[in-house]
Chain A
Amino acid sequence: MRGDRVTKKIAFKVNDGFLVIKIDGDLDNLATFQYKTKLTEIIKINQFKQVVIDLSNVTFIDSSGIGLVLGRYNQVTNYGGHLILCGINKQIKKTIQISGIASIIDVYEDSFEQLKNSEVLL
């Protein structure tokens, strides 16, 4: 039952060759602790060349959430893949900016759906 509750806040979808990871709610230490193993395993097993982390439904992020993203970025780039971070809404924008993560990872304010429609990801 606990596993069911956790998986409701994180969704994985393969869309046009992209693995899209969509996270809902607060991305704090507790959530990061709960999501990390599953995220790591899915990426490790499938080795997707294109990975998207969409935070448009995230309501809160702290340095642990930034660490989760950076960890997956390192994991994906280590096997030659590409990871982008998108859906930077106003509730998480300031922390994302302070973290300096945009100097390492491609970061977009738009959600994956918006990026796909605007053909940015083609």
Chain B
Amino acid sequence: MNKLEIKVSAMLENEGVVRNAIASFVSSYNPTLEEIIDIKTILSEAISNAIIHGYDYDKTKDVYVKASIEDNRLELIVQDYGKGIENINEAMQNNFTSKKDSEKTGIGFTIMKSLSDHFEIQSSINVGTKLKITKILQTDEIQANSYER
């Protein structure tokens, strides 16, 4: 197993830093361009969820991101110790957002779920939220087999 752990301040500026770092980490496993875009999009949604909804833009807080790869299985964990999600089922519904006064679309969870092979939310009020995402990559071995056909 190969792994990468990153802790960043809850600042929007760090979203791009983390998604590019993880994309770079994954790139040595020769993913497709589509997989890289999917991973970057999932991370962007997960980190912004932590910054905006978990911490209410409190820059003194930290967001924790862990990536691990074993065989062709990428596991991502994005965790905050913020206010938590009151109603996970409601949050998972399309077009729901707790930020009613903003232009948030409320589709972040829908996007993460659509782009991942497994998506899980663990959240407790005033404890925090942990998002666990699995993405199965098309590995070299799979690609090599397809060339042999």
Q: Does A98 make an interface contact (CB < 8 A)? A: yes
| Interface range, A side | 20 to 34
Identify whether the interface residues of B are mostly helix, strand, loop, or mixed.
Answer: helix
Instruction: Please report the C-alpha to C-alpha distance between residue A70 and residue B12 in the assembled complex, in whole angstroms.
Output: 21
Say whether A47 faces chain B, with CB atoms less than 8 Å apart.
no
Q: Any chain A CB within 8 A of the CB of B3?
A: no
Say yes or no: A64-B107 contact (C-beta < 8 A), given A29-B15, A30-B13, A98-B114: no
A68-B103, A71-B103 known; A62+B13 contact, CB < 8 A: no
Question: Which residues of B114-146 are within 8 A (CB) of A?
Answer: 114-115
Q: Give the total number of A-B pairs whose CB atoms are below 8 A apart.
A: 68
Name A16-30 residues within 8 Å CB distance of B: 26, 28-30
A-B contact pairs, 20 of them (CB 8 A): A29-B15, A29-B48, A29-B51, A29-B52, A62-B44, A62-B48, A62-B108, A63-B48, A63-B104, A64-B48, A66-B105, A67-B102, A67-B105, A70-B105, A71-B103, A94-B34, A94-B38, A94-B41, A95-B111, A98-B107
